[in-house]
Structure 1
């Protein structure tokens, strides 16, 4: 399989969780992922953790990108991780978080299983490269 075909096979869910209504960054990253050849599903705004888990499982995604700016990451991300574990989808899903995450909260998210956290201003190429290097093989 060519490198281009492998890149196109990476399925990503870009998810907006909770009451966070700022989705500009999520749209920008979804476009960058599409331009990189990834299959992209966008959750829409104001999704509950259970809705995001359901979408990730139903769409059989390789990557779950959680966009959060509301400050509720310590409450919402663990619920998503727990939900993925309930469906045995955690080990097969690369979880990344984008948004404003204080330095003091990052270690807890990494301990939960978040692979990487990307803050505002992160170059798109950096995020795309991270996914290409770390996305699980298709099942």
Structure 2
């Protein structure tokens, strides 16, 4: 969605939540999103779920990409989703997760509000296209 077409640029928050200190993937996806023409905000490491929610609301993002490798996805991701819901922002924010998420944990995350989960080896093009197709339309 380029501004040349009169549409608003997709705003993305790439978030590292919890004690996970590995951020290479977050930097790679942030660069891919920037190269695709998205506006990207990077949270930095070790953010709490509340800090991620506050940043998303304050920055009025269309998409939150949560990068998590720590194994705490079943605790931290729902807290982010609940926080977005409290602000009334969950319904108009696309939430995606990247990292090592076991197949058995994915249905509960999707049921809670995660739109898609990208594991190791996911294509950057596939991720960018998913965001383009699914980012909420806003005026």
TM bracket, shorter-chain basis: over 0.9
Q: Is the 8 A contact 1:8 1:39 kept in 2?
A: no
Q: Is the 8 A contact 1:16 1:43 kept in 2?
A: yes
Q: Distance in 2 between matches of 1:99 and 1:8?
A: 28
Q: Is the 8 A contact 1:68 1:99 kept in 2?
A: yes
| Cα shift at 1:32 | 0.2
Unaligned runs of 5+ in 1: none
Q: Is the 8 A contact 1:13 1:56 kept in 2?
A: yes
1:81 alignment counterpart? 81
Q: Distance in 2 between matches of 1:138 and 1:41?
A: 18
Q: Distance in 2 between matches of 1:47 and 1:111?
A: 23
Q: Distance in 1 between matches of 2:39 and 2:8?
A: 6
1:41 alignment counterpart? 41
2:102 alignment counterpart? 102
1:64 alignment counterpart? 64
1:118 alignment counterpart? 118
| Cα shift at 1:114 | 0.2
Moved >2 Å (runs of 4+): 3-8
Task: Find the residue that maps to 2:54 and give its secondary structure.
Answer: helix
| Cα shift at 1:10 | 0.2
Q: Number of matched residues?
A: 137
Q: TM-score, normalised by structure 2?
A: 0.95
